[in-house]
Structure 1
Amino acid sequence: MTCNVAVGLFTPPVGSNALCRVPDLGRRGAIDRPENGLALRSRHRSPARRHLLPHRFHGYGASVPVRRKQEMFAVTVLFQIKEGQMDAFMPLMIDNAQASMRLEPGCRQFDVCCDAARPHDVFLYEIYDDEAAFKAHLQTAHFLSFDAAVADMIREKTVRTYLQVAQ
């Protein structure tokens, strides 16, 4: 979760961290002036209460919100490919990974890993917004097409999921 805050009158030095007080904005936006002279304008809509949010500043007048801990869903897949099938498998795998990143809003990362020391193994590392996004991935046309096309090329497939991801 991020805080959408724009810098007003005061900008801390480059790379410094500051705590920003986000005011109740109602419909038009508001300005908050804490004791340190910090003036912030925000489009954050909240009930009539103040929130203390972390915020990192970079450069003159530019600010980047600090990402709060966010629920994500990780998937790892280990394919063991049959002898002589790797050249046919890899283009299909790459196309599936690229389609997932391009077409699925819940897919945040899709890495396809290979190693010459293990020439028949392909390791996937995928990050989704949540388990529902992964389940939606399994129903997409590009995944179903990929899954059917590579079924006879795979000797073994191991899928593991993880509910906690730290970044």
Structure 2
Amino acid sequence: MLNLNSPDDNSNRNSLQDPVPLNVGGEIYTTTLDTLTRCRDSMLGAMFTGQIPVLRDNRGNVFIDRDGKVFRYILNYLRSSSLDLPHGFSELELLRREADFFQIRPLLEEIRHYEASVPLSLRGGPLGAMIMVNVDSKVRVFKVRPMCRSESDTGLYKSCTDSLPVFLSILSNSNFLHRGKY
């Protein structure tokens, strides 16, 4: 284990000034000490200010045994203070878990805001619903699959809730229910 702040070791002193090579779960990254310590109260802040000793792999990279692919988004957040995820990003739960592990509170808050703005279908939520309706003393079960993936005229994806008014309109038509279509 190596303390990057040890004043007696010349190589440690150089590590404070040079770009820092990281091996996170087998993925290699290079960044600055300033980026890694941007959130001083995080685990990365503690690691790179000498409060927590770090390990090095056989090539001299600082080794962190975490998910290397998702770490990319954590590192980019530290660089820009902005959560930039690709459209349809499907590993939000893993990213949240990693941000929690590294104790990066501002990133966790950004993830919460992001989750609130993303359609349920992209958050890994249910893609459909089951509705039980009592019609003429008979219980009918309807399985609804919202139109989450159809494109509108503008080329944008429709919200899952766009199909709900259509379905409720169908439900209100008693002839439809009596024909036994569902």
The TM-score normalised by the length of structure 1 is 0.26
Higher share of residues assigned helix: 2
The TM-score normalised by the length of structure 2 is 0.24
Point out which structure has higher relative CO (alpha carbons under 8 A, 6+ apart).
1
